[in-house]
Structure 1
Amino acid sequence: MILPLIFLLASLLQHYGAEAESSHVSKFLLPSVKEKNGVQDSAQEKVLTVSGEGMVHSPDFPHTYPRNTVLVWRLVAASNMRIQLTFDERFGLEDPEDGICKYDFVEIEDPTEKTLLGRWCGSQPGTESHKSKGNQIIIRFISDEYFPSEPGFCIHYSPLPVSISEPEVPALPPPSLQGVEELSEAVAGLSTVEEVMKYLEPERWQLDMEELYKPTWQVLGKSFILNKKARGGADLNLLREEVRLYSCTPRNYSVSLREELKRTDVIFWPSCLLVKRCGGNCACCSHHCYDCQCVPARVAKKYHEVLLLKHRGGGRGLLKSMTDVPLEHHEECSCVCKDD
């Protein structure tokens, strides 16, 4: 009796041990669907032929879209056509964090220039129409596992014929392959640090913005060590704007009316007035020449009412009257190569 019971007990232990091992191993099996940042990656993009008007929208639009979703649409028109995209005014995705769309968002990519035209989330859709540089454009929608919103998004598309006068866009090498001079000239023409990051890394520029001001163990600047660094890091956009404001720009100058108008026979009051004249240097001149100078690019004549005093003939005293004097104002300035 004892021996059969021992064999039965051993058999039961072996059976339950195998089940436990199977259950334990199953927890570590990789999921069949590829995941990236907790979001299921789409197997392939969906290609749509653009021969007329149509739309691309989030699943279940205008209701709440599903979680853990990646959808990619490649819109393709005829070779002699371009594609125009316009957002529907009904728009709602998960809110951004610190102004950056990290979680649920829709983005538009132009594969011709390999540039990201924009990324949108929250409650504000893109207000401008977007036109492709070539005959293709990519729309990508991503949602994570948290906080889906409604109504999602809807983008209307339509084909546009290529204008005969439309210049061909030269293919630019990616920034990583550009020379120092070429890359320096390209980023110098950008207005904000966000535009610089988007130009350098269109796929991950928002993540680069987050990491830009994080101190690392390799390099800790004096401003960080001495606790003098501004909260949130240096404002690079402000630094660039200060250069723009105080370089070659219209600024206030006081001019003598008698000298400006070449009227030495009369007296003006006030004797001097403020006008806008080009001033500042051209250290960041974009032209390739030895010397740049700041010159007016747009000039306007404006009239100012002042008091005019003039001696009457025959010693009969002063003529006093209000008069309009024309003065030249510089409204726009530019740096040009100085003639030798």
Structure 2
Amino acid sequence: MFVVIQTRVQLCDRQLPLIQMILSLLILLASLLQQYGTEAESSDISKFQLSNIKEPNGVQESIQEKVITVSGEGMIHSPDFPHTYPRNSMLVWRLVAANSMRIQLTFDERFGLEDPEDGICKYDYVEIEDPTEKTIQGRWCGSQSAPISQKSRGNQIIVRFISDEYFSSEPGFCIHYSAIPEIVSEPEVPAVLPPSLQGVEELSEAVAVLSTVEDVMKYLEPERWQLDMDELYKPTWHVLGKSFLLNKKARGADLNQLREEVRLYSCTPRNFSVSLREELKRTDVIFWPSCLLVKRCGGNCACCSHRCFDCQCMPAKVTKKYHEVLLLRHRSGTRGLQKSITDVALEHHEECSCVCKDDLD
């Protein structure tokens, strides 16, 4: 019995160093894990702080946007240019020049991205944004031809490249950029003869663009226009208008009102009804309503330039507006009609102007 107990004690004494070694290894492993977690946390913090680093030009650089200071010439391009670019990519470059400089962008002739759908770049494209005016200057894709050169309106410009997770093309794109000085051109002041020295045609055109009788008087006689206004409506013994004699108006005709009426009913946007099937060239379907109201330029151009013999009322500003209508079409191979609400885009004329046909030619 004593021998058995002594043997067990000897076994426990032999196992004790092994247990202590295992405990030491566990403590060391826990220490390493804690140190790794602290380093990872500090690494995450440094990455987060990286997104808040500001460039010397004051522009904040984020992880998804690379800021490039433009002082000379350089280039940006799609990954692996001129070979196939990767799928599912988004790259943004913000080019920043000095306040007195502008940025010129020139596309390499080798240009090719995924083709558009229905004329719209939906999938892979490169676009240029002007942060000064917060507008998109252009968006391009396909492989027809390289886009034309672009110029920033301010001292910054943003280039954005997007590719989806499906098809990719080659060679991608490459844009050369350079800083150019801002050209401040003083408006040219045309040499205009005083009204007293102008001929009938020149004086007639100059007066036609003025808005009120007061403006006409100020143009003709800037120093004594108020006296001319008083003299204009003062009755004399040899000139008495019918409106004055009949006591209908105290000061004669309201010339400003007469001119405003002509302006309202001349070349201006007005309501027109258009047939959707004819407008959209869709004779295979039925729309309801079949007609919609749009704004289109109408009216004559009698007040066009006297030197123009064929003056036409043309749109100066055109926008597209979307209208919801009911679309009916025959189902293929079955009876009945397919019914759906759809959007149709129609052109609306917001501004109109009289244009001489010779200028159009």
- TM-score normalised per structure 1: 0.48
- TM-score normalised per structure 2: 0.46
Rg larger for: 2
